[in-house]
Amino acid sequence: GTDADTGRYMSALANIETSRSQLKEAESLLRQALDLETRVVGPEHPDTLKVMNNLAVVSSDGGNPAEAEVIQRQLVEIDKRVLGAEHPETLGAQGNLANYISDQGRYAESEGLYRQILATQTRLFGPEHPDTLQTSDNLANALSELGRRTEAEKLLREILSVRLKKFGAHSTDTANTAYNLACMLALDNRKDEAFTYLRQSLEYGLPVKAGLAIGEDADLKSLHADPRFKPLVELGRQKAQAEQAKQ
């Protein structure tokens, strides 16, 4: 095939590597794919941008959010130029950039970016659109990290209420919001409420990665000594393994 076909092949291959958590190999393949796509179809072609996005994700998953941020800033600038500042893909790319900034502990900076994205999404798509809700969720996490838990809790409860009404209980997004609320309540030492939402998050269908990591989540530390905690960690592990077996 052509060089561009090779680039797409390497990108697909890197996705397989990532799913096996072999992140270093995936990163190497994606860098080769990015070089090929840039030369053959150009730096602003959708295929090139897809590879850039995947490379940022792999860098972040591999524990290098600073590198992910550098790649993502380039991607946002190209998206703004090619698609426009208010295109859903541009807003999504900005959201990922804010996530990588959060991952480096720069929560005040990410808060500003989340609020900017949220204002645009609310105006364009409405307050109950999935993209708007995801940004709200990320903003709540940044607020929690900044110690503004009352504000964050109010926002998470609003999001959870909308998710339950619009998408129902059996949704990974609903589960994620319930889990985030459980974490925040645990940080506030409100154990009974934290256990209620942690249990709900598992019933709603917490994603595999989060389900396997409950026992290691530092936000839930205040729950560790409670006899209710270990059975939920075990339940999370069982549900995650059952989900992995289906894939």
CB atoms within 10 A of CB 132: 23
Find, among 112, 212, 122, the residue nearest to 159 by Cα. Answer: 122
Among candidate residues 163, 111, 171, 107, the one with its CA nearest the CA of residue 135: 111
What pTM does this model have?
A: 0.83
What stretches of the chain adopt beta strand conformation (E)?
none
The pLDDT assigned to 115 comes to: 98
Q: How far apart are CA 161 and CA 165, in angstroms?
A: 6
CA separation for the pair 214, 240 (Å, rounded): 11
Q: Report which of 173, 228, 172, 227 is spatially closest to residue 199, judged by C-alpha positions.
A: 228
More reliable by pLDDT, 241 or 3: 241
Task: Using the CB atoms, write b or e for 214-237: b if 16+ within 10 Å.
Answer: beebebbebbeeeeebeebbebbe
Q: How confident is the model at residue 16 (pLDDT cuts 50, 70, 90)?
A: low
Decide if 125 contacts 118 (C-beta within 8 A): no
CA dihedral (21, 25, 30, 33) positive or negative: negative
pLDDT digits (tens, 9 = 90+) for 117-164: 999 999 999 999 999 999 999 999 999 999 999 999 999 999 999 999
For 212-222, the pLDDT digits (tens) are 999 999 999 99
Rg (CA), the chain: 19
